[in-house]
Amino acid sequence: MIDDKEQINYIETLLASDDYQTIVLQLQNIEHIYQQVSKAELIDSSWHQSSELTNGIGISPNDAMRCFQGTSRTAKYLKAVYQQVKRLIKQYPDRPVELVYAGCGPWGSLITPLLVMFKPQQLQVTFIDVHSTSLNSLKQIVNALQCELLVSNYVNLDATQYLHAKEIDLIVTETLYNGLHSEGIVSIIRHLARQLSEKGDVIPKRIVIDAHLIDMKSELKLLNSFDHALGQVPTKRQLLENRVFLGNMFELSKDVLAVIDAHQMNEKPSDNLPCKALFIPDINDEQHFALSTCLYLTDEIVLDEYENGITYPLCMSLSRQYIGKQVLFKYQCITPVGFIQQG
């Protein structure tokens, strides 16, 4: 059993702080507790096994657990979820907020530290994961937190196949790699967002993919001038000193997906989503074509470049035949998931 006063102190301190080292300490405190509670699951043979799904891979329980150590990512997600749940509780005072966490992993890292802050009549959480091992571990943590009454269901399923019994008020997921390659966040949000309530929302609210030509040698030199142990990363302005901005290529949000769905309503169902065309200028030998990823968890809380592995640039090959021309990409939602050149 976890000391609820201790847990509340950790999460309240984290939510109230913008100091990186303070946040690191609180996450380490929570991680230590979770390691102790879920330790028995580490002997399960499926702990290190990923799953190949139609719409992208489901990373292994072990890899999902390790994501907790991404300080900026975990802290910002927790702050965003807390803010959105508080907002929705005010919007729906007469019933619990229905939260669906897709790809929760063995710790439910982006939700479970917050459970001690709410009552069952305020919040009901559904955890979804394709790995039963993850859900077994997660149940131990929720039970140790004495928060069983806040969890309405544990669903062992591909989230793109899940139908919620009620309208969903908040979707939470972090099923992505940089440049939206390999994992299934686009398909997951596209499917679940169709089940949102009128005032419902998604975390992340928006994911913006921009295209650049990047001088990676100069950019790495810039990166090495920052102390990553203190959470320091370059600003957008500093990064653009070594880049040529080509344009916004793709944006993922419930509103964008609704427009795409409306456009494709009377067409043959497509696994490919449209992207904006890009003009490719001359490329020198030092430059790489790359996609940047920025997560707007809410309008105010942003996980920017280099704050986590999921927001590192994704370098892609680009034929020199496109120099001086427009190139069009499509986003492929089925495996292999990611952006594909159309010419």
43 pLDDT exceeds 70? no
Pairing outcome for strands 151-156 and 302-303: unpaired
What single-letter amino acid sits at 186? Answer: V
> Which structure tokens are listed for 96?
């619990």
> Which structure tokens are listed for 338?
């990611």
The closest of 57, 121, 128, 129 to 93, measured between CA atoms, is 121
- Helices and strands in the chain, H and E counts: 9, 17
CB 126 within 8 A of CB 155: yes
Q: What is the mean pLDDT of the chain?
A: 94
> Which structure tokens are listed for 320?
């020199």
- Predicted local distance difference test score (pLDDT) of residue 42: 61
Mean pLDDT calculated for residue range 92-99: 97
pTM, two decimal places: 0.96
User: Which pLDDT tens digit goes with each residue over 294-334?
Assistant: 999 999 999 999 999 999 999 999 888 889 999 999 999 99
The CA distances from residue 86 to 68, 77, 264, 323, in Å, are 23, 14, 35, 50
- Predicted local distance difference test score (pLDDT) of residue 265: 66
The closest of 312, 309, 301 to 76, measured between CA atoms, is 301
User: Which pLDDT tens digit goes with each residue over 110-145?
Assistant: 999 999 999 999 999 999 999 999 999 999 999 999
Q: How confident is the model at residue 263 (pLDDT cuts 50, 70, 90)?
A: confident
Element (H, E) at 214: strand 206-215
